[in-house]
Amino acid sequence: MAGDFSGCTARKKNRAQSIEYNPVKTDGSGENSKQPTNPLTTRSGLRVYKIVILGDGGVGKSAVTLQFVSHSFLDYHDPTIEDSYQQQAVIDGEAALLDILDTAGQVEFTAMRDQYMRCGEGFIICYSVTDRHSFQEASEYRKLIARVRLTEDIPLVLVANKLDLQSQRKVTTEEGKTLAKQFGCPFYETSAALRHYIDEAFFSLTPPKYHRYQSELHAHLNGSLSNSTLAELRELKYGKEDPGGTDDCFYKILNGESLTLEECFKKFQYAHDLTERREALERATERVIEDFANDNVIYLELRTTPKCTAHMSKREYLTTVLDVIRKMSKSERNIIVKLLPSIDRSKGVQEAMENVNLAIELSVTYPDTIVAIDLSGKPFGTAFSDFVPALEKAREHGFRLALHCGESEDEQEVKQMFALGVDRIGHGTFIEGENLAFAQKHNIPFECCLTSNVKCKTVPSYEDHHIAKLLKLKQPVCVCTDDFGVFQTSLSQEVQICATTFNLAKEEIVQMQRNAVVYSFASEQEKKELSSQIDQFSKTIKEK
């Protein structure tokens, strides 16, 4: 999520004649070209961002827009001439206004389109997964925008709506991805009826500048399954029919309703149940990587505990995830993905050693993908010293160690972890005194997951989060999501929370992104390439 959105107003009127553009000369021919200038627009002191949603009639443009601004769904909507909606937002740390033009898809209204396209600063091209003609027309809308604006550099999102009508699907997910790849833009399959991926589609058009070129260093695979992905996996396993015994929580997920903390944690149970087969695990891994890529993440370290299910061995489970990572790394998406196999403390020391041995074995086949070992799970009822032999074996092989550390007030355990050698600290909520001094002396980075800690109540509020202390001490930190699906957040949202809560300047956020690359387990060449991208982009960041 790109910004903090609150409050909205909507109005409907035909105002096509009020849209203005300024003709300018673009060459030496002396002829005027109607290329848009898009000067900064303000209204009541707020920066206005003009978003235009385009697509054939009947694809659900109005339903998508109404769901975004009012969280409501209408089964029927009169044919649109033009609807104009406004939504307040915080973008680049400042109050702003989204001005959304929901355009007509009917033929008789096409004369208005050029004017929409000239004034727009971001575009959503929408088609229906149940209508192949609307999918084919998406390319025509893309050409029209380029023709009117005289540029191929267009802020654009491709949206495939009516995901809930799977039985009527005529356009595959892969076809949509391929088209978005041709457009060079994010792609979302949405359901206006179920409110799936509606916010993400709009927010991706207005990310604060410093939310780009991000690195995610602490993300668990099963905890990063969005509501939409869980619904997709449920249908993959059970089909359209209710399998029986579906609880109220999953119905809330399907309907896009807010969840309690207890209901959030049930997502782990659902994720385990819905990914017991290879095809489902492949789909889940693909969706998680896509979601991070759509959130402007260019480097991702995923964590998962090898699982033995009714249909897969641990080895098959891990190779499935690794194969998806390898496949998607070749799909030309601008994201590098690494894997950290996890040791779950609650599973005991025997499984810990099994997981390390499996990671060592597979690292021969996937040498550039398996980069470290994660230690996670509830610290209560287990002794860290019992896991030291497995972790020492991992380190001797050359794996880095990312340990969930200081999640409880156990100073001795933290000392034991530091004595072993930890490359990054997961959370570190209760690291104080001598242990904090040790971390400072050795520049050990902290992986800070703000919303996760607040919702789990290990910290009372964002304002009281220990990242504030770490930033003041200039301790290495990186902002992470932990489980963005469980806690219904995103890396962009976590960065935004950090920036606004602790009054960080844009340059400070960009520097944190540079630092995250340094703290990552990427190769030196990959770090060099990632840093170069951030350095090039940072030149465009200017304080107002």
Tens digit of each residue's pLDDT (9 = 90 or more) over 515-525 = 999 999 999 99
- From the number of C-beta atoms within 10 Å of its C-beta (0-12, 13-18, 19+), residue 179 rates as buried
Residue 127, phi-psi category: left (phi > 0), alpha (psi -120 to 50), beta (remainder) = beta
Confidence of residue 11 (pLDDT cuts 50, 70, 90): very low
Going by C-alpha positions, the residue among 377, 429, 186, 394 that lies closest to residue 268 is: 377
Going by C-alpha positions, the residue among 292, 302, 274, 471 that lies closest to residue 372 is: 302
Going by C-alpha positions, the residue among 138, 185, 193 that lies closest to residue 160 is: 138
∠ Cα 67 73 79 (to 5°):
95
404 - beta bridge partners? 426
262 vs 208: which has the higher pLDDT: 262
Marked catalytic residue, from 286, 351, 407, 447: 407
| Per-residue confidence (pLDDT) for residue 323, from 0 to 100 | 97
| Per-residue confidence (pLDDT) for residue 355, from 0 to 100 | 98
Q: Is 407 a catalytic residue?
A: yes
C-alpha distances (whole Å) from 114 to each of 238, 279, 390 are: 46, 44, 64
Q: Is the pLDDT of residue 288 over 90?
A: yes
Are 229 and 288 in contact by the 8 Å Cβ rule? The answer is yes
| Per-residue confidence (pLDDT) for residue 37, from 0 to 100 | 38
Q: Is the pLDDT of residue 115 over 50?
A: yes
Fold classification of 214-226+296-543 is TIM Barrel (3.20.20)
The answer to which of 254-268, 369-383, 444-458 has the lowest mean pLDDT is: 254-268
Tell me the percentage of the chain whose pLDDT exceeds 90: 49
- Mean pLDDT (whole number) for 11-17: 36
- For the chain, the structural domain boundaries read 48-204, 214-226+296-543
Are 336 and 366 in contact by the 8 Å Cβ rule? The answer is no
177-213 per-position pLDDT tens digit: 889 888 878 899 999 988 888 888 887 776 665 567 8
Tell me the percentage of the chain whose pLDDT exceeds 70: 78
| Per-residue confidence (pLDDT) for residue 325, from 0 to 100 | 96
Q: Is the pLDDT of residue 91 over 60?
A: yes
Q: What is the pTM of this model?
A: 0.71
Residue 219: what residue type?
A: A
22-80 per-position pLDDT tens digit: 222 233 333 333 333 344 566 667 778 888 998 998 899 989 988 888 878 776 555 55
- Mean pLDDT (whole number) for 357-378: 96
Residue environment code for 496-507, b if the CB has 16+ CB neighbours within 10 A, otherwise e: bbbbebeebebe
Torsion angle in degrees (nearest 10) through CA of 389, 391, 393, 396: -130
397-436 per-position pLDDT tens digit: 999 999 999 998 999 999 999 999 999 999 999 999 999 9
Residue range 48-204, CATH number: 3.40.50.300
Query: Three-state SS string across 7-28, please?
Result: CEEEEECCCHHHCCCCCEECCC
| Per-residue confidence (pLDDT) for residue 543, from 0 to 100 | 46
Are 211 and 296 in contact by the 8 Å Cβ rule? The answer is yes
Q: Is the pLDDT of residue 330 over 80?
A: no
496-542 per-position pLDDT tens digit: 889 888 988 888 989 999 999 999 999 999 999 999 999 887 876 65
Q: What mean pLDDT is reported for the chain?
A: 83
Q: What is the sign, positive or negative, of the torsion defined by CA atoms of 359, 356, 312, 189? A: negative
The tokens describing 36, both together, are 């848009």
Going by C-alpha positions, the residue among 315, 322, 319, 305 that lies closest to residue 368 is: 322
∠ Cα 210 211 217 (to 5°):
120
In whole angstroms, what is the distance from residue 423 CA to residue 443 CA? 9
Are 234 and 226 in contact by the 8 Å Cβ rule? The answer is no
86 - beta bridge partners? 9, 99
| Per-residue confidence (pLDDT) for residue 499, from 0 to 100 | 87
| Per-residue confidence (pLDDT) for residue 13, from 0 to 100 | 39
Fold matches, 48-204 and 214-226+296-543: no
| Per-residue confidence (pLDDT) for residue 93, from 0 to 100 | 54
The tokens describing 135, both together, are 């999918």
| Per-residue confidence (pLDDT) for residue 544, from 0 to 100 | 42
- Mean pLDDT (whole number) for 479-483: 96
Q: Report residue 372: phi and psi, to 5°.
A: -165, 170
Other CB atoms closer than 10 Å to residue 22's CB: what's the count? 11
In whole angstroms, what is the distance from residue 447 CA to residue 79 CA? 50
Going by C-alpha positions, the residue among 91, 86, 98 that lies closest to residue 122 is: 98
| Per-residue confidence (pLDDT) for residue 431, from 0 to 100 | 97
- Mean pLDDT (whole number) for 97-101: 84
Q: Is the pLDDT of residue 328 over 50?
A: yes
Q: What is the CA radius of gyration of the chain?
A: 24
Going by C-alpha positions, the residue among 234, 237, 214, 182 that lies closest to residue 291 is: 214
Q: Is the pLDDT of residue 256 over 60?
A: no
The segment with the largest mean pLDDT, out of 13-27, 209-223, 356-370, is 356-370
292-319 per-position pLDDT tens digit: 988 889 999 999 999 999 999 999 999 9
Confidence of residue 476 (pLDDT cuts 50, 70, 90): very high
